[in-house]
Chains A and B, each alone.
Chain A
Amino acid sequence: MLETKNINFYYGNFHALKNISMKMEKNTVTAFIGPSGCGKSTFLRLFNRMNDLIDNTKLTGECIINDKNIYHKSVDVDELRKNVGMVFQKPNPFPKTIFENVAYGLRVNDMGDKHFIQQRVEESIKSAALWNEVKDKLHKSAFELSGGQQQRLCIARALAVSPEVLLMDEPASALDPISTSKIEELIHELKQQYTIVIVTHNMQQAARVSDKTGFFMLGELIEFNDTKKIFLNPDEEQTQNYITGRFG
């Protein structure tokens, strides 16, 4: 489903990702952990080409989704981003109504008529486990929601355009514990339909939500294994040191 081959990535002269090759299966949750600045977010952003927005960067190697190198010239980046949704660290709803936030992706991509949009918005908000809280105020501003609700709204917004992959960049790091556990439950649900990749600083969170975990350090993928194995009996000593809190 998702695969990288010998990925190297540079910010100017800084070698941010070093020769990373890995594979992620459909309908799984993969977590990336590692100390700040290890490259895990940079790696995540390769899959929807968000790094394209940053000046003076260089990429070598292949990043493959559904057997297709997404950095090939023939790839339409807007189409790609529709297929690979993203949820950011800080909730970033648009200054529009709750309804219009979720409808945004459908409108900019010209997906369906008014009736379809109505239906799809409702489905997406339900999938994001937010429906009961907002169903009576769909036409109120998204800014009236709490941080946790805003983040689930952003998830609904990403789901609305029917992506296959969902990238989450520390989606709960700005939220309180209750909102965090709601997001984690949601990730469990969403796994049935989507392939999820999540970057997190919180190792318990990685242990709770993911099937596989990749440990990054200084731009290298030190270990990529089943989550259970990583947390109980990792192959690498550096992984062991990190998860037991001896550094990082």
Chain B
Amino acid sequence: MNKKTTQKIAFLSFRILGIIVIAILFWILGFIIYNGIGVINWNFLTTAPTDGMTAGGIFPAIVGTLCLVAGSMIIAFPLGVMSAIYTQEYAGKGWIVRFIRVMTSNLASIPSIVFGLFGMALFVNKLKFGDSILAGSLTLGLLVLPLVIRTTEEALKAIPNSFRTGSYALGASKLQTIRKVVLPMAMPNIFTGLILSVGRVSGETAPILFTVAAYFLPKLPTSIFDQAMALPYHLYVLATSGTNIDKTLPIAYGTALVLIAIVLIMNLLAAFIRKRLNKKLKSH
């Protein structure tokens, strides 16, 4: 076979595989939209479940999930970014940094249910936060910390050294260089890490199972020490422990649809901010 034919065959198979991936994604999305769209209406989005969860809406779960996303990001983002700045910019190349890197990777591979148990042992019981948004946010924050650290490290690594030396050569300190040159340049990529983390956090069930999630709460949480409902857990409850599966199943699909929509909206928002940051850097 000559090389042109080989190339054609190769690219054709790449294209087919690519299409398959997209097809799977659209199939899942289509399935959930098809089954869930029927129950979506203003009432569904703004009221609490009623009649043993066979009717009403999912408003408390939406609010709960938003709280958990915000709470875990407030914890994981500064902590992760600062750790990454330490390992990437300050700590040099010694064994301590290598050790931290290995441990970060290990942390990333721990199953999320283990985080849930750890969160229950430490935050709920030992620190006596109880089942609460605080305990859940801390647990979720720990879960995504490695992801934030790793993406931030990669973002910092991608900044060419010439910008750092250029800054030092003008008499800037290391901290000034990081704050005024390196971080602004790395921000768009750090933001990508944030997007991934938000997606991860809003979908996780296991870490919130023992730390925050309530089976049913008609009221909204009023403080960070309150329990809350959350979309993924609510979905799990509807799908597994409903008393009237015929009535709860459409609601479960509707919940899944709302969860996906929330993640999608957050991703779009973050992508928009990321694009603006990038634009601000590259041209005016």
- Taking beta carbons and an 8 Å cutoff, which residues of A are in contact with B? 48, 50, 53, 55, 78-82, 85-86, 88, 90, 92-95, 97, 104-105, 107-109, 139-141, 143-144, 154, 157-158, 161
Contact = CB atoms under 8 A, between A and B. Distances in A.
Contacts of B176: 108
A86 B169 contact: yes
Interface in B124-177: 160, 162-163, 165-173, 176
Contacts, number: 77
6 contacts: A53-B165, A55-B93, A95-B282, A105-B171, A108-B172, A141-B284
Nearest to A100: B180
Given A140-B283, A143-B283, A94 B171 contact: no
A104 B169 contact: no
Nearest to B166: A92
List 9 tightest A-B contacts by C-beta distance, closest first: A82-B171, A105-B170, A108-B172, A86-B169, A92-B162, A92-B166, A95-B281, A81-B171, A78-B171
Interface in B247-280: none
Contact of A85 (B162, B170, B172, B282): B170
B169 A81 contact: yes
A154 to B, nearest CB: 7
Q: Which of B163, B172, B176, B181 has the most CB of A within 10 A?
A: B172
B222 to A, nearest CB: 44
B283 A141 contact: yes
A143 B281 CA distance: 9
B184 interface: yes
Given A94-B181, A139-B284, A144-B283, A53 B168 contact: yes
A50 B169 contact: yes
B185 interface: yes
A104 B281 CA distance: 15
B155 to A, nearest CB: 14
Nearest to B171: A82
A107 B176 CA distance: 10
A157 B283 contact: no
B111 interface: no
- How many chain B residues sit at the interface, stated as a range, is 20 to 34
B78 interface: no
Given A88-B162, A88-B165, A94-B163, A108 B282 contact: no
B170 A141 contact: no
A79 B282 CA distance: 31
A104 B284 contact: no
B92 interface: yes
A92 B168 contact: no
Q: Which of A82, A88, A104, A144 has the most CB of B within 10 A?
A: A104
Contacts of A88: 162, 165-166, 169
A105 B172 CA distance: 7
A158 B169 contact: yes
A78 B166 contact: no
Contacts of B169: 48, 50, 81, 85-86, 88, 158
Contacts of A139: 284
A50 B167 CA distance: 11
Nearest to B283: A141
B281 A81 contact: no
A112 to B, nearest CB: 14
A184 to B, nearest CB: 21
A82 B185 contact: no
Contacts of A109: 170-172
B162 A82 contact: no
A129 B180 CA distance: 27
Contact of A94 (B166, B283, B284): B166
Given A50-B168, A86-B169, A158-B170, A97 B181 contact: no
Nearest to B164: A53
Contacts of A94: 163, 166-167, 181
Given A79-B171, A82-B171, A108-B172, A141 B166 contact: no
Contacts of B163: 92, 94
Nearest to A83: B171
Contacts of B167: 94, 104, 108
A104 B170 contact: yes
A51 B51 CA distance: 73
